[in-house]
Structure 1
Amino acid sequence: MGRTTAEVLETIAQKRNEKIAKLGFSFNHPLPTQRQTPLIPPHHAPHSPLMIAEVKRASPSAGLIDTIPDVCELARKYIAQGANVISVLTEEDHFKGSLSDLMAIKNTFPNISVLRKDFIQHPEEIEISYRAGADLVLLIVAMFLGDRKKEADFAAILSECKKYALTPLIEIHNEQEIQFALAFNPEILGINSRNLHDFTIDKNKALYLKSKIPASVKTIFESGIQSSFDGYLAGTFGFDGMLCGSYLVKSQDTKDNLAHLIKAYTKGKQLQNPFYQKVFDSIYTSPVPLVKICGITDLDDAFNAAEAGADMLGFILTKQSPRYCATSNVKLMSKAITRIYPHILKVGVITESKDEFILARELFKEGMIDCIQLHSYNPTTPNFYASYDLKEADFNFYACVNFDSPKDYPTHSPSPFVLLDSKSSAQGGSGKSIAISALLELKAMGKDLFIAGGVGLDNLDTLLGLKPKMLDINSKIELSVGKKDKIKLQTIIKTIKTPR
């Protein structure tokens, strides 16, 4: 499992203090006695991200990322692709950076904002940062929280930032740290997706935390960015910007990656579709699972499901399915439901067909559906569906796998969550259930359970005992194929939505 983030922070802080005691706050780097470059506060256009691109050679989790022989050349590439701020790792032992890197970049590009990203602990480090040419400094709340002296140091550091007009980027990881940070009326908060408990990335939790921050505070999505789709997610959740390091450094020879990230973010920010926000809010706050009623084919069933308390309605767009819903019918039902039940989420369900994929994306673009369910998603090719690269997605989607055992679960997927359906030749709607033993095994691996396939009143108590995050219900509440039983529909939703 390795060390926790808190332990890594403690190790880094101790090592830095030892070096400061020996070398001084400048770490023995020659600094000018007065700042030599203009102070450039971070700035971005209203509908574009505050894009912070990072010069980063290594990290405790990734090891060596790149030697970066010419930091100024990398910064030049970032600026050309649209970066507003250059983040420079100046920690020497674990990240292989230095104040010299920062000074070189700021002296070469004096009119760009530069962030000193380090593990700052002392008020005296702010003057050093200012003289070196930093315009922003990173302050990690986890390094100060829970210790009165350190909390006092945090306040003193913020006072020094104000004295030198440096912008503090205050980094948080959880709700406790958010409350601590908000007491200081921050201008910018960075939400780091690294999990404090095991040093892994938890992007969903970081995205969810955005809702806990007042709109007046600018928020930056940090860590875990691995594709343009992550930029789309940051935009759709309403983040004001992103801080991206490892992904850009690793792919610096691919000249358009930063530009694509910004483009995807901008699309997400324009749409701000609530699908993922509602799903993640339920995951992290609700004692009961989300309910999706799938295979909706007529308006009566759609209204009955909405009135009974369903969270999502599923429209099957595959013509071969006995529950196929024609495009005109999807639009009719979507408009009617949205008018009376605007909180209900609409999902288009497809199989791996290019025609279906194109149709679903068009329905999403028109606002007729809120998300695309990628049924029979192949976990062995997790980045592709219907020959489309999901890492470049600028729309809402989630994977649905035919699940028999944990080996069927995708280990690396851009999908924010994975729906589990039973394996059958019918490709959904078979009424066949997933073995409870397989679900228990997956849950023991720390996976949230989103369950489809044979969910009915007969096995509901057992499934609810697994504390699933979502139940997808279809054939077991039907009078006939494609027609729901109103009583069963009401009963199953009421049972699910009653907290236990």
Structure 2
Amino acid sequence: MTEVLEKIAHKRGEKIQKLGFGFGFSIPSERKVPLSPCFESNLPLIIAEIKRASPSAGHIGEIPDPVLLAKNYINNGAKVISVLTEEDHFGGSLKDLMEVKNAFKNISVLRKDFIQYPEEIKISYLAGADLVLLIVAMFMENEQKEAVFKEILLECQKYSLTPLIEIHNEQECQFALKYNPSLLGINSRNLRTFEIDKNKALHLKTKIPKSIKTIFESGIQSSFDGYLAGTFGFDGILCGSYLVKSQDKNENLPNLIKAYTKAQNHQNLFYPKVFKSIYENSFPLVKICGITDLDDAFSAAESGADMIGFILAKESQRHISIKDIKLMSKAITRIYPHILKVGVITENKDELTAARELFKEGILDCIQLHSLNPHTPNQYASFDLKEADFNFYACINFENIQDYPKDCISPFILLDSKSIDKGGSGKSIDIKELEKLKDMGKELFIAGGIGIDNIDEFLRLKPKMLDINSKIELSVGKKDRVKLKEIVQKIKNLSKETK
């Protein structure tokens, strides 16, 4: 068990010894409110949280009336209310839970706490909880603790409470799957470092059988985070801090639900494929960019490329029309459905509008936001990327580590060399600067001047993606098929050899 969990569990244990399993509150001797199932329909399971503080964020927000906040959540689309009942680190209580459930008897209520004893399940039931959180990390150290976990599950079954079993990594996932959970929560926060890794948590979803309902937890700071959860097929999301901090802004929860639902319905596989490569493959994804004709598109696919890039920017020498993009995309999809199609744009409203429409139609799988300003990393063409309901990634013109953006919402960042042309110049990024990023723990997605002559240097950095364009051309916009095939094969083969 991690140090923070041990600290919380130890203090809870002391308080239980002193105050009892009800922590000194007056708990009814019998349940006075109905059990409310959380899966009444196929609607998304949106869990909105009443949360005053946390060890990582400190004080989050004042909640003088938890019933009023719960009402706000329900009116804006929440299907379950999560109530933090841990007192010392989260500022919650069983009193909050009882007040919320008594006010909304037919709404499902989750007791979110650090449950550590079987006796706490009966108390949760009597207090009005319909679900309880069980944190797997608290029960994995030895057989004795796992035996307690089994007892707690039996108590949940006895009182017909649904356990939301929370995991953080693949080891915990394997532990949880042994018990065939009906509801599994994937928390993106590392319990040791308290850092958020949304990508890793999203990818963990792919390890879970589709028959098990899964909830994305922690790290939601925008509508786009909800969109990502929907893209990976999560059955619901649990959101606390983001909603509490913005509880006066009634549009945040509806916007979050809207973005999540749109992604669920669209189910584009771009991000799942990219994250699978990041976490499971020894070789990088290969994107052949600047495709201007169908022959080159087919050559890229036949050579083993993972992505092809179409440039929508009219000032580019490799620009192609919307009509040609549609024709090529449809042709490639028919024969090579696994190839991902990326639209490359510059910071232009018309280009963004056109690319979003192509994404909506299924012509593009993702939009590359080229030359994003690292000083305003979540704004592009006057659009707030935190509200995005489409696939995108940022591409910055990179010369040194000062150019790397902070707090960028983009799931990953492609680095292109700085040049007057802002791309397609054949100029490479200084390897030493890329090494500095690597030493900082950054995953590398690299574009700019990559060719047969220097591919070994880039592969030595073990990048996650290589974007190749001008150095495999016969002329501007026309690929050299021999060079294209040679470089793709070298990337795949050399990477496998150095695995």
TM-score (norm 2): 0.98
Q: Does 1:230 align with 2:222?
A: no
Whole-Å separation in 2 of the counterparts to 1:467 and 1:145: 34
Query: How far apart are residue 44 of structure 1 and its match?
Result: 5.3
In structure 1, the partner of 2:272 is: 277
Q: Secondary structure of the equivalent of 1:376?
A: coil
Q: Does 1:13 align with 2:9?
A: yes
What is the RMSD computed on CA atoms of the aligned residues?
0.9
Q: Letter of the 1:59 partner, please give it.
A: S
Aligned partner of 1:386 in structure 2 is: 381
Which amino acid is the alignment partner of residue 197 of structure 2? D
The letter of the residue matching 2:432 is S
Aligned to 2:290: 295
Residue 268 of structure 1 is aligned with which of 259, 263, 269? 263
Asked whether the equivalents of residues 129 and 161 of structure 2 are also in contact (C-alpha less than 8 Å), the reply is yes
Instruction: Give the structure 2 partner of residue 213 of structure 1.
Output: 208
Partners of 1:359 and 1:122 in 2: how far apart?
Answer: 56
2:31 corresponds to:
35
Which amino acid in 2 is paired with 1:421? D
For 1:142-153, list aligned pairs within 5 A.
142-153=137-148
Moved more, 408-417 or 236-245: 408-417
2:444 to 423, 440, 449: 449
Separation of aligned partners in 1, 2:21 and 2:191? 28
Q: Is the 8 A contact 2:3 2:192 kept in 1?
A: no
Alignment equivalent of 1:413, drawn from 402, 405, 408: 408
2:152 to 143, 154, 157: 157
Higher mean C-alpha deviation, range 133-142 or range 189-198: 189-198
Whether contact under 8 Å (2:394, 2:413) holds in the other structure is: yes
Does the CA contact (< 8 Å) of 1:376 and 1:400 recur in 2? yes
The code of the aligned residue for 2:95 comes to S
2:166 to 166, 171, 177: 171
Supply the AA of the counterpart residue of 2:469: N
What does residue 460 of structure 1 align with?
455
> Contact 2:125 / 2:161 at 8 angstroms: preserved in 1?
yes
Supply the distance in 2 between the matched residues of 1:162 and 1:106 (Cα, whole angstroms). 20
Alignment of 1:44-443 (within 5 A): 45-46=41-42, 48-443=43-438
1:218-242 CA-partner distances (Å, limit 9, x unpaired): 0000000000011111111100000
Greater alpha carbon shift after TM alignment, 334-343 vs 8-17: 8-17
SS of alignment partner, residue 286 of structure 2:
strand
User: 1:196 Cα shift?
Assistant: 3.7
Paired residue secondary structure (2:216): strand
Q: Which amino acid aligns with 1:77?
A: N
What is the identity, as a one-letter code, of the residue corresponding to 1:16? R
Measured against aligned partners, the alpha-carbon deviations of 1:353-392 in whole angstroms (never above 9, x if no partner) come to: 0111111011111111100000000111122100011111
Query: 1:26 matched to which residue of 2?
Result: 22
CA distance in 1, matches of 2:488, 2:450: 11
**Which amino acid in 2 is paired with 1:284?**
Y
Provide the C-alpha distance between the structure 2 equivalents of 1:397 and 1:432, rounded to a whole number of angstroms.
24
AA at the equivalent of 1:18 = E
Q: Is the 8 A contact 2:288 2:468 kept in 1?
A: yes
Task: Return the offset for 1:197.
Answer: 4.0
Cα distance in 2, alignment partners of residues 146 and 281 from structure 1 = 29
Q: Which amino acid aligns with 1:373?
A: Q
Q: CA deviation at 1:444?
A: 1.2
Deviation string 1:262-286 (CA, Å, 9 cap, x unpaired) is: 1111100000100000000000000
Whole-angstrom distance in 1 between the partners of 2:195 and 2:260:
23
Deviation track 1:414-440 (CA, whole Å, cap 9, x = no partner) reads 111000000111010001111111111
Q: Counterparts of 1:437 and 1:15 in 2: how far apart (Å)?
A: 49
CA contact under 8 A between 1:228 and 1:393: conserved in structure 2? yes
Q: Is the 8 A contact 2:288 2:307 kept in 1?
A: yes
* Contact 1:43–1:84 (CA under 8 A) maintained in structure 2: no
Q: Using the TM superposition, give the Cα deviation of residue 441 of structure 1 relative to its aligned residue in structure 2, in angstroms.
A: 0.9
CA-to-partner distance for each residue in 1:138-187, whole Å, 9 max, x for gaps?
00001111311110000100000000000000000111111111111100
Q: Distance in 2 between matches of 1:443 and 1:92?
A: 41
Aligned with residue 479 of structure 1, among 455, 474, 482: 474
Aligned residue pairs total 495
Letter of the 1:376 partner, please give it.
S
- Percent of residue pairs bearing the same amino acid type: 71
Structure 2, unmatched stretches of 5+, are: none
SS in 2 for 1:233: helix
Gaps of 5+ in 1: none
The answer to whether residue 484 in structure 2 is matched with residue 489 in structure 1 is: yes
Q: CA deviation at 1:37?
A: 0.6
Give the SS at the match of 1:471.
strand
